[in-house]
Chains A and B, each alone.
Chain A
């Protein structure tokens, strides 16, 4: 029975063998002592993309690299950096893709402009209709 249990546990442990054997970075899973700073860090971490599992935020991911990124965010917040400075630091290194927060840029401006144009068009048509109805 005991042998069987060990075997089962070994089978479950296999994926772990493919990972590194170091303990996670100090602030990967440890919150900051100051709740206000931790809240700031958490808010930022929810809007940064995990590079290993690209559909998750670093706050959601258990990938070692996401842990290292959380450590970076928390130590930088602790050192007095503003969340947007940290985001800019990462965007400088990985491009816009790293951030989930929408930015107006040379490639994304149509996403912001098109709804405004459509609303203007609707207003124009409605005005014409309402006038015609009178």
Chain B
């Protein structure tokens, strides 16, 4: 009979531990970000037409020209992209080369966006069906990837770039060999 009693207390203990685990997990904030599984991989081959008249388009060959770059995935219809524009400008002033992919965008909208918020990009490819975005494991706009000189993705920043992210991204570029 005592053995049975110990067994019952064991059941109570296991159940309590389980509910404790549930309570702990439910109290943790949910991570909404889906990270790319392409970090450390070579960027898949692509060739995008120019998004605007005054900048060339972007291909995977441009990202393997020996110089590490930032690849900014943005759109004129994306509100946080406006918030990060000054910090992209600052990154460019501090020596980062930034290329961009405009997602589901029209040339006139991209032009208007760049006119208002500045144009730190040396190249802008137009991705009308999110094909390049899907191929690099990006799940939204804005996102910024660090690409080393040989076309390998070394870092992904999800969401808008804020003031504190500027030195961090410059450091990631350094690590990638800039």
Contact = CB atoms under 8 A, between A and B. Distances in A.
Nearest to B109: A21
Contacts of A19: 77
Interface string B134-177: 11110110000000000000000000000000000000000000
Contacts of A20: 75, 77, 103-105
Contacts of B105: 20, 22
A64 interface: yes
B32 interface: yes
A92 B165 CA distance: 27
A93 B77 contact: no
B contact residues, range: 20 to 34
A68 B34 contact: no
Q: Is the interface of B mostly helix, strand, loop or mixed?
A: loop
Nearest to B139: A51
B35 interface: yes
A22 B106 CA distance: 7
B38 interface: yes
Contacts, number: 64
B79 interface: yes
B17 interface: no
A1 B11 CA distance: 69
Contact of B34 (A22, A69, A95): A95
Given A20-B105, A97-B34, A68 B134 contact: yes
B129 interface: yes
Interface string B108-131: 010000000000000000001111
A54 interface: yes
B136 A93 contact: yes
Nearest to A91: B37
Interface string B22-37: 0000000000101111
Contacts of A98: 34
Interface in A61-115: 64-65, 68-69, 71-72, 90-95, 97-98
